[in-house]
Amino acid sequence: METFLPITYLNDFVFCPYSIYLHQVFDNNSEDLYSATPQQRGKAEHDAIDTFEEPSRPSKAVLKGIYVISNKLGVYGKIDTLYLNKKRLVESKYSITTIYQGYYYQLWAQYFALTEMGFEIEEIAFYSIRDKKTHPTKIPQQKEFEELRNHIRKIARFDFESAMNVNSVKCSHCIYASLCDKTNIDHVYA
C-alpha cells in the first residue's frame, strides 16, 4: 500500500524534522496537551474558516476545508479556501510576518493536488488572519514541482534517530519543546 504524507508535514519539516516525529508520537493524544496559546488561537481561527457558512444561501462558488490528494507527489491534506469563480486558492495562517519556504511548499502541494484533481487555478495567495493581509504569490511551475518532490522525498527518507543540530531559538517557539528529548528549553508560551 502506498504511503501518503500529510501536507502539513512539508512546513513542519522545514521548521524542525524532529517535530514530525513528535507529532506522530503525540498524535493520538489531545492537542491541548501540547498546543501553546498562539497555536490554539490560530487553530480556533482556522476552525472558524473550516466551518464558515455563507450568510445567505451557501455558495457553490467557494470551497472551504476540503481534502485534496496528489498521487504524483504522494501527499494529502486540507485546503483553506478555493474561490471557484475566481480560480483562486488561498492558504490562511493566523499571523504572517514572513513567508517561510515551508509555507510555499504547503501551498504548492495544495495547488498541484487540486490541478491533478481537475480544478482550474489561476491565482494563489496567503492570507494573514490577524491583520487581514493578503499576500499573492506566483503559480508554481515545473521547477517548483521538482523542488517540492525532492523535499517530500527527503522527508520520507529522513532518519529520525540520526544526530541533529538543535536550534534553541526554534525550540523556544516550538509547541513540542516541553515534551522534546532533544532540548531542555521550554517554549516561550508556557
Q: What residue ranges bind ligand SF4 (CB under 6 A)?
A: 16, 18-19, 22, 166, 170-171, 174, 176-177, 180, 182-183
Query: Quick one: which of 53, 126, 52 has its CA closest to 93?
Result: 126
41 vs 182, which CB is nearer to ligand SF4? 182
Q: Cβ of residue 167: shortest distance to ligand SF4, in angstroms? A: 7
Class of residue 23 by CB neighbours under 10 A (exposed 0-12, middle 13-18, buried 19+)? middle
Tell me how far CA of residue 180 lies from CA of 19, 22, 30, 31, 102, in angstroms: 9, 7, 17, 15, 21
| Residue 54 CB burial class (10 angstroms; 0-12, 13-18, ≥19) | exposed
CB of 43 to ligand SF4, least distance (A): 18
Identify which of residues 17 and 74 has a Cβ nearer to ligand SF4 in the complex: 17
* Nearer Cβ to ligand SF4 (16/82): 16
Taking the complex as a whole, the smallest distance from the CB of residue 107 to ligand SF4 amounts, in Å, to 22
- Alpha-carbon span 83 to 28, nearest angstrom: 33
Question: CA-to-CA distance for 105 and 99, rounded, in angstroms?
Answer: 11
- Nearest approach in angstroms of CB 183 to ligand SF4 is 5
| Least spacing, CB of residue 177 vs ligand SF4, in Å | 4
Give the C-alpha separation, 94 to 76, whole Å: 22
Nearer to ligand SF4, 61 or 166 (CB): 166
Q: Specify the residue, 38 or 74, whose C-beta has the smaller distance to ligand SF4.
A: 38
